[in-house]
Structure 1
Amino acid sequence: MSDTSLTIDNILSSQLTLCQAPASSKKRVLEFIAERIHYQDETLSESDIFSNLVSRERLGSTGIGQGIAIPHCRLDGLDRVIGVLMTLQEPVDFDAIDNQPVDLVFALVVPKEATSAHLELLSQLAEKFNDGAFCQRLRQCTDSDSLYQGMLADSQ
Structure 2
Amino acid sequence: MRMSTILRADAVKSISSCTSKKRLFHDLGELAEASYGLSATQVIDALIEREGLGPTGVGHGIALPHARLTTASEVCGLFLRLEKPINFDSVDRQPVDLVFALIAPEDAGVDHLKALALVSRTLRDQAICAKLRANSEAATLHTILTEVQASQAA
CA contact (8 A) 2:36 2:76 kept: no
After TM superposition, give the deviation of residue 38 of structure 1 in Å: 1.0
Identify the structure with bigger relative contact order (alpha carbons < 8 Å, sequence gap 6+).
Answer: 1
95-104 vs 126-135, which moves further: 126-135
Which of the residues 43, 56, 61 maps onto 2:50?
56
1:133 aligns with 2:127: yes
Which of the residues 69, 86, 92 maps onto 1:98?
92
1:110 aligns with 2:104: yes
1:34 aligns with 2:29: yes
After TM superposition, give the deviation of residue 77 of structure 1 in Å: 2.2
Which has the larger share of helix? Answer: 2
After TM superposition, give the deviation of residue 151 of structure 1 in Å: 0.8
After TM superposition, give the deviation of residue 7 of structure 1 in Å: 2.2
Deviations 1:20-66 (A, max 9, x none): 35311111111100011112344x22111100000000001110000
Find the counterpart in structure 1 of residue 66 from structure 2.
Answer: 72
Number of matched residues? 150
Secondary structure in structure 1 of the residue aligned to 2:117: helix
Give the partner amino acid of 1:37: A
Q: CA RMSD in A?
A: 1.1
**Consecutive unaligned residues in structure 2, runs of 5 or more:** none
After TM superposition, give the deviation of residue 124 of structure 1 in Å: 1.1
Q: TM-score, normalised by structure 1?
A: 0.92
**Consecutive unaligned residues in structure 1, runs of 5 or more:** 1-5
Give the partner amino acid of 2:45: S
CA contact (8 A) 2:8 2:35 kept: no
Percentage of pairs with the same residue: 34
